[in-house]
Structure formats: C-alpha cells, structure tokens
Structure 1
C-alpha cells in the first residue's frame, strides 16, 4: 500500500470491523467512534482507507439502492482482506511488544528518579 493520508492502522481496524459483516463507510466510522477507546478517525480518512483497500482488493464494494434516497456503497472484506488483516495482526503484536518495552523502561527511569 502507498503511504496513506490517514492513521497508519486505520485500514486494520476497518478490516476488523468488516469481519462482523458488510457495512457502509459511515456505519464503520460510527462503530469506531463508539467502540474504540482512542479514535481520531474522521469520515474523509475512513473513505480514503476504504478506497485504498478496494484498490488492493482487500474489500469489495457494491452500491445499495434498496433504501430511499441516495445509493450507498456497502463494503465487504475479501479473502485477500483477511490475509491483510493477519499481516496487520502480526505487525501490531510486534508494535505491542515494543510499546511494552518502552513503558517498562520509562517506568524504570521514573523509579530511579524517585529514589534520588
């Protein structure tokens, strides 16, 4: 994937939410705002990420014209998207280990300063 103009792991969260079932971009954004403890995503970022995921065939989109009003694009994760989600999982596990190391080391520094 090219360098994104949104949060680095936003596509991972989009794919994660799409494993629950097909969804619209606005519904995904609302889920992230409701369920994620720290979410700075906005609508344009979500749609840029969805467009990129669609471009790399991690999701497919279909227009839903069943409701009154404007048609909505509904996104579904693909097998390629599931593989990408697994890659994100491995990356996030490594990041988590690095963050745990950082926090542990920082705590040691704080402990040393308190004993001085």
Structure 2
C-alpha cells in the first residue's frame, strides 16, 4: 500500500499565508477544512513552517496575550512568493501527468469489464 503524505504542504501553507499572516494551528485548521483531502498533520505543518522560516520563505514574530499561550505568527516573504510561484508550476505539471494517468487508467479499466 502506498503511503499518503503531505508532499505539497509547503505550497498550501504559502498559499494561505499569501492571504494573510497566520499561526500554525490556524494553518492546520485551514488545511483540514478547506482541502478536499488533507494529508498533513500538525507535526508535518510545523516541520514545514520551521524549514520555510530557516530558508527565508516566511518571517515570524511572537504575539503574547494576557491570557493563553503565546503564538508564533508567520508572514510570507518575497522569497516565499517566488517559492509559491514555483510550487504552482510544479503542481500544474503534476496535474497534467495525473490527468494523463487517470485517462489512461480509465481506458484500462474499461478493457477489463
């Protein structure tokens, strides 16, 4: 059985951060609520955010409130916008390959009926 994973999690995180700055838990909630199929969990989201912070795709700042835990907010950078553009092109290319696969598979599936 093939393992499902959040290969494109960084692309979706950058897409959401292009909308507005956000914090990790809210980004995970958006992934879970807005994607047709969410293959990411909290560990994956925070790992991706940490890597994007390290490579300069996002900037961070902490928000402390009178009550509750402090929150680490993420904002997309110019480098992150370039990465988002590259991710979009990668996804377009993969979509073309997936469409080919599904079309070809449909033909094979009909042959077995």
Shared fold, TM over 0.5 = yes
Q: Tell me the CA shift for residue 75 of structure 1.
A: 0.4
Q: CA deviation at 1:93?
A: 0.4
The 3-state SS of whatever aligns with 1:41 is coil
SS state at 1:19 partner: helix
- Please report how far the alpha carbon of residue 44 of structure 1 lies from its aligned counterpart in structure 2 after TM superposition: 1.1
Quote the residue 2:92 is aligned against. 93
5+ residue gaps, structure 1: 1-5
Q: How much is the aligned-residue C-alpha RMSD, in angstroms?
A: 1.2
Q: Quick one: structure 1 residues 104 and 72, their matched pair in 2 at CA, closer, same or farther if it must change by over 3 Å?
A: same
May I ask how many residue pairs the two structures share in their alignment? 109
User: Which residue is 1:49 aligned to?
Assistant: 48
**Could you say which residue in structure 1 is the equivalent of 2:22?**
23
How many Å apart are 1:65 and its aligned residue? 1.1
Look up the match of 1:14: 13
- Structure 2 CA distance for partners of 1:67 and 1:82, relative to 1, 3 Å: farther
Q: Secondary structure at the match of 1:87?
A: helix
Deviation at 1:11, TM superposition (A): 0.4
In the alignment, the residues of structure 2 paired with residue 104 and residue 27 of structure 1 have an alpha-carbon distance, to the nearest angstrom, of 36
How many Å apart are 1:92 and its aligned residue? 0.4
Q: SS of the counterpart of 1:39?
A: coil
2: CA distance, partners of 1:111 / 1:37: 27
Q: Mind listing any 5+ residue stretches in structure 2 that lack a counterpart?
A: none
Report deviation, 1:40.
2.2
